[in-house]
Amino acid sequence: MKAYRYVSEGEPLRLVDVPDPVPEAGWVVVDVEAAGLCHSDVHVLDGTIQPSRRPPFTLGHEVAGTVSALGEGVEGHAVGDRVAVAIIAHPEVQAHYAPGIGVDGGYAERVVAHASTLVPVPAAVSTVHAAVATDSVVTAYHAVRTEARARPGEVIAVVGLGGLGLNGVRTGVLAGATVYGVDINPDTFGAARAAGASGCFTDLSALADLRPDAVVDFAGVGSTTSDAIDVVRRRGRVVLVGLGSRTSSFSSGNLVRKSVELRGSYGADKDELRQVLDLIARGRIEPAVEEIPFAGLNEGLGRIGRGDVRGRLVTRPRH
């Protein structure tokens, strides 16, 4: 089968032929019908994120498709089932089961997935939307709903209006909050307003008078976290999701004097993925996606690195 393999930092992924996967006990083979492209894969390629595995291996952690083979002892799943592969991060991180992280990922025609990570895809949800739900949607959902604790009547600021940020805006709106978007690129504002943002700004400082109850930073470029601490209300919450920079600096005085709660947010739990798929099925969340050909995967990752993407890129390895 065809797979794009990570071979070395600073090099594009390499399209090669690899053997078809065989499921061990407790695992299944999933024919990959859709795989989402994530900025974190760009960070692996440029060295911002150090992978936990030695190359070569296959990236791609947003995966949905059809079960095509069962390993010994697998129950509750059958060949032909439409499934999304959950990246389980709560209550404990299960990175060893995560596609593209602990095992070979979805930039390939097939993957092996542990049966415990499979979530059925509702009939009303496309495989493309199911794939991006596994990270782009549910990571944002967890960050805004669980970590930022968005509630009715609150003011929430979402920094970075890319794939995750747009879903963060929508999650905050569904929680009943008034949501504002922040991005250095005004071209992102239309999609943010369509997701329910009450207003959009190019600089977090413009929100100072609104004193947000929480700021969710999907950019994570260092200065954004510092700015979030400056503008959030006293005893407010700042949630860092983005990994745009390896380090961040901020005023410890503001953090302490304002009693700001600073949290990191990584992934989500399996039940939150079920909730997100249900919201998509009911039309409450509609992920913004752009499909690209499998042959254009490296070009797509390059576009993400340049900030030339609105929403989420998705590819179909078997098409």
- Find tokens 């499934």 and name the residue: 83
Q: Does a structural domain hold residue 143?
A: no
- Give the pLDDT of residue 159: 96
Instruction: Looking at the structure, tell me whether residues 128 and 153 fall in a common domain.
Output: no
Q: Does a structural domain hold residue 274?
A: no
How far apart are the C-alpha atoms of 202 and 194, rounded to whole Å?
17
Instruction: Looking at the structure, tell me whether residues 15 and 59 fall in a common domain.
Output: yes
Instruction: Looking at the structure, tell me whether residues 86 and 10 fall in a common domain.
Output: yes
Q: Does a structural domain hold residue 270?
A: no
Instruction: Looking at the structure, tell me whether residues 211 and 298 fall in a common domain.
Output: no
* Number of structural domains in the chain: 2
How far apart are the C-alpha atoms of 140 and 56, rounded to whole Å?
30
Q: Domain limits at 215? A: 149-264
3-state SS, residue 9: coil
Q: Does a structural domain hold residue 68?
A: yes
Which class for 182: exposed (0-12), middle (13-18), buried (19 or more C-beta within 10 A)? buried
Check if the beta carbon of residue 180 is closer than 8 Å to that of residue 198. Answer: yes
- pTM of full prediction above 0.75: yes
Q: Does a structural domain hold residue 273?
A: no
The residues that bridge with 67 in the sheet, in sequence order, are 30
CATH number of the domain residue 298 falls in: 3.90.180.10
3-state SS, residue 16: strand
Instruction: Looking at the structure, tell me whether residues 72 and 179 fall in a common domain.
Output: no
Instruction: Looking at the structure, tell me whether residues 53 and 114 fall in a common domain.
Output: yes
Q: Whats the size of the chain, residue-wise?
A: 319
Q: Does a structural domain hold residue 280?
A: no
Q: Does a structural domain hold residue 272?
A: no
Instruction: Looking at the structure, tell me whether residues 72 and 174 fall in a common domain.
Output: no
How does pLDDT run along the chain (319 residues), one tens digit per residue? 999 999 999 999 999 999 999 999 999 999 999 999 998 899 899 988 888 888 999 999 999 999 999 999 999 999 999 999 999 999 888 989 999 999 999 999 999 999 999 999 999 999 999 999 999 999 999 999 999 999 999 999 999 998 899 999 999 999 999 999 999 999 999 999 999 999 999 999 999 999 999 999 999 887 888 999 999 999 999 999 987 777 777 878 888 999 999 999 999 999 999 999 999 999 999 998 999 999 999 999 999 988 888 889 999 999 8
How far apart are the C-alpha atoms of 28 and 70, rounded to whole Å?
5
Sheet of strand 261-264, all strands in order from the earlier edge strand to the far edge: 199-201, 178-182, 155-159, 214-217, 237-240, 261-264
Q: Does a structural domain hold residue 91?
A: yes
CATH number of the domain residue 227 falls in: 3.40.50.720
Q: Which of 111, 41, 103 is nearest to 83 (CA)?
A: 111
- Give the pLDDT of residue 163: 86
Instruction: Looking at the structure, tell me whether residues 126 and 186 fall in a common domain.
Output: no
Instruction: Looking at the structure, tell me whether residues 162 and 215 fall in a common domain.
Output: yes
Instruction: Looking at the structure, tell me whether residues 220 and 245 fall in a common domain.
Output: yes
- Give the pLDDT of residue 224: 87
Check if the beta carbon of residue 132 is closer than 8 Å to that of residue 314. Answer: yes
Phi, psi of 248 (to 5 degrees): -140, 145
Q: Are strands 82-85 and 27-36 parallel, antiparallel or unpaired?
A: unpaired
Check if the beta carbon of residue 30 is closer than 8 Å to that of residue 67. Answer: yes
